[in-house]
């Protein structure tokens, strides 16, 4: 089999013109990265082309159904990587400039099997954050996604009696709404005899991770929120 000239990166709805034949008004287009002769990605987001599914099918000698399936799978994988990146940043960005001792406790607390392997927490945290930020900055299939501590939002998290999360809600910006929500959350927590936490994170999924994290991770999370939103 010949090596394909393109790799499908996803399916997008913000490019409505086929980069191959110029047809306009397409509902969505397929993002394709050029490959070199060995089948390695040959370029950056700037080199990605956006083709309609029929032109993409022709370029790859595939059926349109295979193009669509592959594009949807690639897009779902990217969304998962984005979710991973938001969790990594929500957990580790607040300890990025923390004392090494705290950083190590946060890292090894989540990676206990590495504790005695000589893995340096500082390097690991730096590497994870670099990768996570690059993931969210990748514009291949859409605009860059928020990735800074300044982009964190606060979430109220209610735990049930068994320690599982019963509810996650974004904390409103407006003071009166915020007080109303806090009171309602308190009532609910009491009713189910659970407990309540407020954490900062890039999204609600990442907020769950922060809420489940150890006290030290959450202390730094609170500090980071206060430092950027004081």
Return the SS3 of 220: helix
Please check whether residue 60 is in contact with residue 67, taking contact to mean a CB–CB distance below 8 angstroms. yes
Considering the complex, state which of residue 22 and residue 99 has its C-beta at the smaller distance from Zn ion: 22
Considering the complex, state which of residue 5 and residue 23 has its C-beta at the smaller distance from Zn ion: 23
From residue 16 to residue 35, the character string flagging contacts with Zn ion as x (rule: CB under 5 A) and all else as - is --x-xx-x------------
- Measured from the CB of residue 74, what is the shortest distance to Zn ion in angstroms? 19
- Measured from the CB of residue 17, what is the shortest distance to Zn ion in angstroms? 9
Q: Does 192 bind Zn ion (CB under 5 A)?
A: no
- Measured from the CB of residue 100, what is the shortest distance to Zn ion in angstroms? 54
Considering the complex, state which of residue 49 and residue 206 has its C-beta at the smaller distance from Zn ion: 49
Round to whole Å and give the CA distance between 175 and 197.
18
Considering the complex, state which of residue 20 and residue 165 has its C-beta at the smaller distance from Zn ion: 20
Rg (CA), the chain: 22
Please check whether residue 188 is in contact with residue 165, taking contact to mean a CB–CB distance below 8 angstroms. no
| Distance separating the N- and C-terminal Cα atoms of the chain | 60
From residue 98 to residue 137, the character string flagging contacts with Zn ion as x (rule: CB under 5 A) and all else as - is ----------------------------------------
Scan residues 37-56 and list those touching Zn ion (CB under 5 A): 52, 55
Considering the complex, state which of residue 53 and residue 90 has its C-beta at the smaller distance from Zn ion: 53
Considering the complex, state which of residue 59 and residue 171 has its C-beta at the smaller distance from Zn ion: 59
Look at the alpha carbons of 132, 208, 153, 112 in this order and tell me if their dihedral is positive or negative: negative
- Measured from the CB of residue 22, what is the shortest distance to Zn ion in angstroms? 7
- Measured from the CB of residue 127, what is the shortest distance to Zn ion in angstroms? 40
Tell me the number of residues near Zn ion by CB under 5 A.
Answer: 6
Q: Helix (H) and strand (E) counts for the chain?
A: 7, 6
Residue with tokens 């990146």: 85
What values do phi and psi take at 184, rounded to 5? -65, -40
Question: DSSP string covering 141-172, please?
Answer: TSSPPP-SGGG-EEEEEEE-TTS-EEEEEEPP
Binding-site ranges for Zn ion (CB under 5 A): 18, 20-21, 23, 52, 55
């Amino acid at each position: 089999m010949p090596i394909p000239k393109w790799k499908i990166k996803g399916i997008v709805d913000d490019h409505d013109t086929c980069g191959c034949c110029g047809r306009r008004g397409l509902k969505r287009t397929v993002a394709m990265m050029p490959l070199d002769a060995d089948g390695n990605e040959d370029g950056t987001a700037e080199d990605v082309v956006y083709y309609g599914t029929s032109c993409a099918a022709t370029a790859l000698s595939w059926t349109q159904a295979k193009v669509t399936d592959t594009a949807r799978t690639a897009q779902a994988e990217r969304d998962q990587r984005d979710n991973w990146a938001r969790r990594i940043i929500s957990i580790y960005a607040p300890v990025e400039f923390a004392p090494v001792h705290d950083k190590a406790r946060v890292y090894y607390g989540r990676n206990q099997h590495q504790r005695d392997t000589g893995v340096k927490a500082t390097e690991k945290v730096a590497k994870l954050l670099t990768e996570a930020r690059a993931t969210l900055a990748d514009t291949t299939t859409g605009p860059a996604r928020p990735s800074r501590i300044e982009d964190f939002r606060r979430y109220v998290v209610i735990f049930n009696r068994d320690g599982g999360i019963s509810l996650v809600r974004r904390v409103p910006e407006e003071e009166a709404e915020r007080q109303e929500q806090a009171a309602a959350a308190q009532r609910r927590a009491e009713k189910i005899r659970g407990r309540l936490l407020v954490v900062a994170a890039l999204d609600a999924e990442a907020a769950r991770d922060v809420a489940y994290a150890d006290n030290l991770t959450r202390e730094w999370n609170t500090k980071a929120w206060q430092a950027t939103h004081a």
